[in-house]
Amino acid sequence: MILRILIAQINLRVGDVAANRDRVIAVVQEARDQRGADLVVFPELTLTGYPPEDLLLRPELLERVQAALEAIRAASRGIGLVLGYPKRDLGSLFNVAGFIHDGRLVAEYAKQRLPNYSVFDEKRYFQAGQAPAVVDFKGLPLGLLICEDVWEEGPTTQATEAGARLLINLNASPYHTGKAPEREDLLVRRAREHQVPILYANLVGGQDELVFDGGSFVVDAAGHLTQRAPFFSEALMLVEVEAEAKAGAMGERDGVAGAQVGGDGVGEAGRLSLRPRPAAIAPHPAEESAVYQALVLGVRDYAGKNGFHGAVLGLSGGIDSALTLAIAVDALGADQVEAVLMPSRYTAAMSIDDAQAQARALGVAHRVVPIEPAFQAFLGMLEGEFAGCAPDVTEENIQARCRGIILMAISNKKGKILLTTGNKSEVAVGYATLYGDMAGGFAPIKDVPKTLVYRLAAYRNTLGPAAIIPQRVIERPPSAELRENQTDQDSLPDYAVLDPILKRYVEQDESVAHIVAAGFPEELVRRVTRLVDRNEYKRRQAPPGVRITTRAFGRDRRYPITSGF
């Protein structure tokens, strides 16, 4: 026999149970009526979206989930489905995968391994399950697992020892560079260890700082990849699984005969061979392509899911704002993006020329609003306070804050989200102005090191018939242009040196001694790490941004502001 399973790699909205319910029902109907599927598999916590965070503490959320489940059960006639949701049982909350068939809730599996590291806080909300769930579906024993369960040995072993001959793994696995191959390598090992095929269904879409990259896939019992869905886009991937009896006859059964170990058909597990048929394998994108797609998806979903009608940003003629503008246009459309050029007395003519050239190339509405009148007004207001003091970084910051006021005013007046343009290297060492260039609602490249910013800009220029980021923007030395002849390297080491130090200290938790032993000058390392430590207070006040590394500032790397470490 052939079991036809549709993996629903879909984009959900956290907390919007009604919309998520309707999406599930629409996919189920398409799977049954148009695709001829026997079973549909949805991502982890389908009905609430992931991660629902403290929404899980609200009883009303669970009431909505139960009502949604009743509607989904009613819509499931003639088909099976597996979907995720939270469930309270005997006073404890569980992260559950429910198996529904022909209007009946046949089985529920509670996630056993609750991640509590990096961006995950599941032990704050959930209790761990203890038992496997193996469902006899049309005579075929299917084991249910949820995300982290496959990263540790126990739950996989439990399911296969309970008779599962195919494992279905529901996921909400967020993206960072290198994550997709890591997932696949792990499941290849698990499939080989237990000699069972595994279906991996992943979420796709942006949720605050997190981006879920999809890339759902299937491996056979020998660990061979047989099918993969695209990355960073929704997909309904139909998987055909051939079931054969290894020895002796096995009568085919209609419906679900047993949900737990010992149900009819499960005892036949050792005599079954389930083989996913080879099908289309979407390619892994190269690193620059993957990061860029993650940034675009993150901006699109953050703006769209929060009801913003377009975006505005300051376009300086520098590399960071140039890349941010390209991301915004690719995410929202040129007609939904507005660029504002705010030259100061120190702005080079080439900066204005390059910014306008990019805006024209992308078809973006743009205007020039000089900040000199506002800057002069502030200097006049503060003349008495500044008497006898030499100009310093204070005057530079006033210029940045003039720009922040202008951009926030446009954002407020037009209902457009203000995108900030700072990169991870600057955010790490505090090379940014509170209430100035840090002002805004979302920071697309907040987790992108400066050296990667250059690579992404060059990559974006390869996507169309013509470059949209002027080559001079990529090649000229970076500068905030807040004083005469200023460059970033007046205040910071070269980014080619700075970024590796930051990666070791911020993402890999290496000590000063270890970084120095790797060949970096001790005085420089101590200076950089001091800057990182003492600018935590700034980062606490920064807008959220897309996470693309293994350790992002925000919900991922959480350090005390006041610390004697």
Tell me the pTM. Answer: 0.93
Q: What is the pLDDT of residue 260?
A: 37
Q: How confident is the model at residue 257 (pLDDT cuts 50, 70, 90)?
A: very low
Catalytic residue among 111, 305, 416, 503: 111
Structural domain boundaries, residue 297: 289-488
User: Residue 562 falls within a domain, yes or no?
Assistant: no
Q: What is the pLDDT of residue 158?
A: 96
Residue 506 pLDDT exceeds 90 = yes
Residue 485 pLDDT exceeds 90 = no
**Contact residues for 113 (Cβ-Cβ < 8 A; gap 6+):** 128, 148, 149, 151, 152, 154, 155
Q: What is the pLDDT of residue 248?
A: 44
100 and 154 housed in the same domain: yes
Catalytic residue among 108, 122, 147, 305: 147
25 and 94 housed in the same domain: yes
Mean pLDDT of the chain: 93
298 and 156 housed in the same domain: no
Q: What is the pLDDT of residue 457?
A: 97
**What CA–CA distances, in Å, run from 518 to 1, 183, 452, 497, 523?**
59, 30, 21, 12, 14
pLDDT in tens, 167-208: 999 999 999 999 999 999 999 999 999 999 999 999 999 999
The answer for 265, left when phi > 0, alpha when psi is -120 to 50, beta otherwise, is left
153 and 249 housed in the same domain: yes
**Contact residues for 412 (Cβ-Cβ < 8 A; gap 6+):** none
d(CA 136, CA 476): 64
339 and 415 housed in the same domain: yes
Q: What is the pLDDT of residue 407?
A: 97
Structure tokens at 436: 């100035």
pLDDT in tens, 461-483: 999 888 999 999 998 887 776 77
44 carries an active-site annotation = yes
User: Residue 517 falls within a domain, yes or no?
Assistant: no
Q: Per the structure, how many domains does the chain have?
A: 2
CATH number of the domain residue 257 falls in:
3.60.110.10
Q: What is the mean pLDDT of residues 405-420?
A: 97
Q: What is the pLDDT of residue 247?
A: 54
Residue 258 pLDDT exceeds 60 = no
pLDDT in tens, 118-150: 999 999 999 999 999 999 999 999 999 999 999
Domain end call among 488, 510, 530: 488
Amino acid identity for residue 80 in this structure: G
* Helix, strand or coil, per DSSP, at residue 266: helix
d(CA 249, CA 244): 10
Q: What is the pLDDT of residue 256?
A: 33
Task: Find how far residue 32's CA is from the centre of its chain.
Answer: 30
Domain end call among 473, 488, 503: 488
Catalytic residue among 44, 122, 148, 338: 44
More confident of the two residues 309 and 114 = 114
